[in-house]
Structure 1
Amino acid sequence: MGKLIQIKNLVKKYDDKTVAVNDVSFSVDEGSVVSIIGRSGSGKSTLLQLLGLLDKPTSGSILLNNQDISQFDDTKRALYRRKKIGIIYQNFNLLPEYSIKDNICLPLLLDNEKIDQAYFEELVDLLGLKQLLSKQPYQLSGGEQQRVAIARAFIIKPILILADEPTGNLDKANGDRVMDLMLNTAEILKTTVIFVTHDNTLAKCAGRILEMSDGILVTSTM
């Protein structure tokens, strides 16, 4: 199994006094599941944003498939993110005027790409969404909306899934179910997953736990 991600001496400063990510280095194997934990303000969400090309580092490098994505300009970052990285937000970010099917396929529709129908059907089947495709987001429960958000992240066949507090807006029962579905889908589709959580029990679902404190990576547990 090769290294999908290699992070070297990564720094993100917002000003002289605010260092959100401070000289962080680690690597992630292809197909693995990694959780990032830490208190509020520890830098974990900033680290995820850097990985997802939603922000640019002050210094250091992020190698994804041996390509230094930290050097990309804004246009290249946006294109790479749309094609290669699936992002799952805790507030779902579904478009209310679109059907569930169109919400799932939105990343492909934006790029005028053809939908792989067999893959789409496998995905909605894995996530239990087959009966909901003609509905709209307001007709779904929070757990169902999060499953739609997961399907949308996977529809582009990403090499990396990033999830920021993916169960943060759900009760425990729904959160556990959504987490199981996300990780099961990733395992079947052989996709690398990195997720941020404040829940230490949830973090243990991952094969590896990274702990952040004051912008520093303080522990890396296999």
Structure 2
Amino acid sequence: MNNIIQVKNLSKQYDENTIAVSDVSFSIEEGSVVAIIGRSGSGKSTLLQVIGLLDKPTSGTINLDNQNISQFNDNKRAMYRRNKIGFIYQNFNLLSEYSIKDNICLSLLLDKKKINQDYFNELVELLGLNDLLLKQPYQLSGGEQQRVAIARAFMIKPIVILADEPTGNLDKANGEKVMDLMLNTARTFNTTVVFVTHDIKLAQRADRIIEMSDGILI
């Protein structure tokens, strides 16, 4: 199997007293689902942000699809992030002025890219969004909004999906349903997913669990 993500000796230090990630190394196989667990402040969200080019590492390297993305300048980082990495957050981050359909296609619309209608239809069907496309985000429940956020992340056909506490704002039943849909979509399209969670039951749904404590892997 091809290792789609390779992280080597990665550290992120904010000041002399705050080392969020310390000398972390691991690799992730293409098409796999990986959960990162750990207590608050263990460094798991920082690790996700650094892999996703939302933050710069202090040292170490990140290879994504055989490219050393840790060396990219700010412009290249922004373009790569927008075109190659799908993000899912716990607070959905949908744009209230856009319809659900436009929220899903947002990155493609911004880049004036053609929408693959067959792929869009399949994605919407998988996530049960057919009847919601003309609505606005405020008309949707939390679970429905998170399904839209998942569709938006998959719509760019990313190399990897990074999800930070994707069920954090949902009740247990909705959280499990959203996780089912996210994992089913990932496996349908053979998309690599890395997600951060506090919930050990949700983490056990992954192919592999990475546990962090005080910035290191344990």
- Measured after TM superposition, the shift of residue 66 of structure 1 is 1.3
Paired residue for 1:187?
A: 187
Deviation at 1:134, TM superposition (A): 0.2
Q: For 1:156 and 1:66, how far apart are their aligned partners in 2?
A: 19
Q: Which amino acid in structure 2 is aligned with residue 77 of structure 1?
A: R
Correspondence 1:1-222 to 2 at 5 A? 1-218=1-218
**1:57 Cα offset (Å):** 0.1
Whole-Å Cα distance in 2 between the matches of residues 106 and 5 of structure 1? 26
- Distance across 1 between alignment mates of 2:58 and 2:97: 38
- Partner of 1:40: helix, strand, or coil? coil
Question: Whole-Å Cα distance in 1 between the matches of residues 56 and 22 of structure 2?
Answer: 14
Deviation of residue 65 (structure 1)? Answer: 1.2
Q: Secondary structure at the match of 2:15?
A: coil
Runs of 4+ deviating beyond 4 Å = none
**Structure 2 gap segments, 5+ residues each:** none
Query: Separation in 1 of the partners of 2:202 and 2:98?
Result: 31
TM-score by length of 1: 0.98
Partner AA of 1:190 in structure 2: N
Note the aligned Cα RMSD (angstroms): 0.4
Tell me how far apart the structure 2 counterparts of residues 182 and 88 of structure 1 sit (CA, whole Å): 10
Identical aligned pairs, as a percentage? 77
| In 2, Cα distance between equivalents of 1:150 and 1:184 | 11
Deviations 1:135-167 (A, max 9, x none): 000000000000000000000000100000000
1:44 Cα deviation after fit: 0.1
CA distance in 2, matches of 1:202, 1:155: 24
Post-superposition Cα deviations, 1:171-214, rounded to whole Å, max 9, x if no partner, equal 00000000000000000001000000011111001010000000
Render the CA deviation track for 1:40-74: whole Å, top value 9, x for unaligned: 00000000001110000000000011111011111
- CA distance in 1 between partners of 2:6 and 2:103 (Å): 32
- What is the TM-score normalised by the length of structure 2? 0.99
Structure 1 residue runs of 5 or longer lacking an equivalent are none
